Structure 1
Amino acid sequence: MSQSYRLPALRQLMDQQTRTSTRERRLEQLDRAERLLAELDPEKEYPFEYLCYRITGYRADSTSLLVLPGRDARHDLRLYVEDLSRTVALPIEEAPEPVLTVEEVSRRYQVSTRTVNRWRRQGLVGRHFRVDGRLKVGFLESSLARFVSEHREQVDRGTRFSQLSEAEREGIIRRARRMAAVRQASAAEIARRIARKMSRSPETIRMTLKTYDRDHPDRAIFPPSTGPLDEEAKAQIYRKYRTGTSAEVLAKQYGRTRSSIYRILNELRATRLLETKLEYMYHPSFDDPASSAEILAETPLPPDGRAPRKVKAPKGLPPYLASLYEVPLLTREQEAHLFRKMNFLKYKAHLLRDRLDPTKAKTSELDEIERLQEEALAVKNQIIRANLRLVVSIAKRHVGPSNNFFELVSDGNMSLIRAVEKFDYARGNKFSTYASWAIMKNFARTIPEENYRRDRFVTGHEEMFESAADSRIDEHEYETAHRRNVEAVQGMLGRLDDRERRIMISRYGLDGSREMTLEQLGKELGITKERVRQIESRAQEKLRRIAVEERMDLPMF
């Protein structure tokens, strides 16, 4: 089924008729749709109710106010006929009038098959017929005659361009062979150059060269590539392109055409898109074309029209946590709108992904999927930012002697993100209630687990094991080495910055100070235990370099 409908209403009508109409009804609708297509003026607009009635014989009530541009309606009706005929699969011998295949039209008008396919995109209506057990595109004699009548100049031009004399063909072959020998250029580039010099279409030149290479494989100007690329080669092409290598350069490196490089890039891009997990909460309004504009509208203002009152951040919070209180909270209406919008965008991306074939993926399709997913992510982040202060509030209530506040906030943020993904806004509940339950449920599980781990495995000297390698020395050797390190470190503390010096003094109990753990230092300095460890490692590295410069022995560093 075609993925390039411009009007969701006609695409939905197509899906509905495929599911509910009998084969006889669909055959009748094919003729009705094609007759309607011939009557539509691209410069006018048409109510969807009128189009639906002309195709199906029934009037659509729910979308009676929907008005569609004539140009887009003509485009989608052509796709409608092709897609509906595929579901009927009428044998070609049962067609009501003579049918010509793409190849037969090509021979009749002396044009290439690509030109015929280009005519299809420009309005030539095709249908799918069953020929020798396979579905093939064919054109009713009346449909072809109507297109030729409406596009006489275009058809004549295509016919004129395809009529090459033998001398012209030999000239094209000679020029292409000479250019391929002296230039490292692709077949498409050489075809474009010859087309400009001979005032011919690039497609005519390309088909001439392709036909010659097919008929003379031993003297081919552009011999076929050595074979399909393996997955590793495709991955290399994708990585090089992402790091700035152009498609033209990649085509030369791998002996491929530029279009084949783009196909490989799109294939890997599509594969990576499909590997990305996409979850959403479905709602029946997502399938109603009339609801789309309302769902995608801007976030509504509060009922009173006033900006939300700013809340003062609690004292003692670091600046990055205090900044969360500058983000206004969402009203119930705003919250429901954002959740509906986020899930609708994901649903639209899911529909496109569900029909995506990586081997035939188009750039426009991939761009649209990525755009929908990026917009959904932006809405998701807006919801998360408006609720981050909820995590801080709950984490403060769970802080204890063995629970680090910043670790609780980090863990709570992950619970909040999961809650945004799982929340069903259609039930009418407030998200803060659901998120609070999810965060506290996670804390109820992780805090006892962490306390058990500490009670079971912590020895009281865990920081020493975390920061120093196990050198397997006995206690007397360790004390001797520790004393030596203390004496050496005392002489070099002046070469550290204030925070590094403070941490080293407290960690080693220098100058009569009490030895402190990573966690104790973190609370005192307002940073995490991991950050203290990083600063200590940096200070140790500085001391190690100083020791090397001054030829001192610091075995613990």
Structure 2
Amino acid sequence: MVPGKHLWLERAARRGRMEIRFRYRSQHWEDTAMHTTYRDAKVKELRDQLIRFSPKANKSELADAAESLHNDVTEDRQYAYDFVYFRLTKFRPENPSRHNIAGVDLRHDLRQMIEDLTEAAEIPVEQVAQPVHTLKDLARMFRVSTKTISRWRNAGLVSRKYVVDGRKRVGFLHTSIEHFSQQNREKVRRGERFSQLSDEEKSEIVERARQLVEGGATPAEVTRQIAEQMGRSPETIRYTLKNFDADHKSLAIFPSHRDTLTDDDKRTLFRMHSQGMTVSQLCKRFNRSRASINRLLLDVRVQCVFELPLDYIYNEDFDQPGRDAEFLGETPEPAKAARKVRPPADLPSYLAALYDVPLLTREQEYHLFRKMNYLKHQASRLREQLSDNRWNSDDSMSKTERIDRINQLYEEAVKVKNLIVQSNLRLVVSIAKRHVAKVDDLFTLISDGNMSLIRAVEKFDYSRGNKFSTYASWAIMKNFARTIPSEFKHRDRFRTTTEELFLLRQDDRMDPYVEESAHLRRKRELSKILNRLDEREQQIISARFGLGRGSEPLTLKEVGEKMGVTKERIRQLEARALVKLREAADEERIDVELGSA
């Protein structure tokens, strides 16, 4: 570098008239995208001076000087700023400085300065005296990915900026590449060993991963095994599978893995755990750690607790201490055994069974209602503490134990509620029978009445001294008064004949006795004609139509596997058996619906 070319820098600095003497502060400087992550402020300041006030022709020489210094710097040493200034400009600063720069920071800043100087110089790549390689050229040369080249740049590979086809691009001088290769032989050799994957290798990784996943392997096991089998780094395998899943969501290897699980995912996870799937199995299924799965399960449990219907009738006695044994004790026995009441003769058997449940005495009724509401009161108080996070490390009950206790109290309250409802179901039947003359369907009335009964149990205030049967009867009849006119209005709207004909017409299908008798008759008739078939044909028909007790119809394939023959053979035997059954039904004059052959 010719010293005379740099006298202007020192003289202009001494006179303090840099902006007047030289005209290199232009719009180009303002538009150039320079690095802003210099580690040393004085090096960045020097970069600004060199770019602003040096001619374009000199910026390439300054970059050469910076690269020469970069190659001589050792990262574990300290370097004086005056020394750096002299190596770059060939002059010593007018005002000496005692500022020192760490070697690792100096190398980093010099690499950024080289790029900034060459970018400001706007050098066409055709004018460079030696070969210039692009990022992709370098990746192909060493058979590595562009990400690896980027890591090499951070490790010391010097890059420059050149004008290629009218646009500024990163380029690497051949001499810079040779110097880096000599200084980092092991790094380059390791990069060549783990070369960039070809499309065929990516496809092989995906196929092997799919086979391992189908065999029950976890993502970590898949990554480790494929890395060992193909001689690749686990990180390469992991990123390859991650990119494949992102680009092919419908064919993803790990479809259940998401960065953030949705509420539906959490509910599914909780349901699987409730059905017996272990935490370890959930970790594999959702690609989460054990701590993460336990935290998600706890979150869902908390959410479920806050969805529990814990409305209750409050009583001041609930806040008195020491009365748990009284409130939660066993139901008192009646003074004398209740007399068994015979059900009405016209009731179906399953409704007559309601009369086997004894009615509650006034004392039993009071105790059960108080117990149910007190259990909900305790659960509600625990849930409020859970909501306000009012517990600490000194609490004897952990968060999980608190949730378990809330669920236990709620289940006990539901049991008590069901006992009250069961003891009063006959009340619904007796009231529905009084209204059955106004409508045709007794069972719809009973169903509506049962819902009214359940709501009445939840709203009844036992402390007022009234009998529950009085309150429940009023609630049921009030509901009937509302629903029966609606039923008549609906029938008037869709009436197809005269009112008398409509009211007198009876649908035998609505009568359970007639329905049950018809079912038994059809069953006897079907058994009669089934005897016309041989043993194998009977077995096929029974399996195909689900004629056995608690059996479901099977497909042709399922029947074939069960009998050890092909699906087509079962179809042929079934067709032959159906023909026989139709002939037998015609002979016996039996109306039986049979599938087509």
Structure ID, larger Rg: 2
The higher relative CO (CA closer than 8 Å, separation ≥ 6) is in 1
Task: Output the TM-score relative to the length of structure 2.
Answer: 0.41
Task: Output the TM-score relative to the length of structure 1.
Answer: 0.43
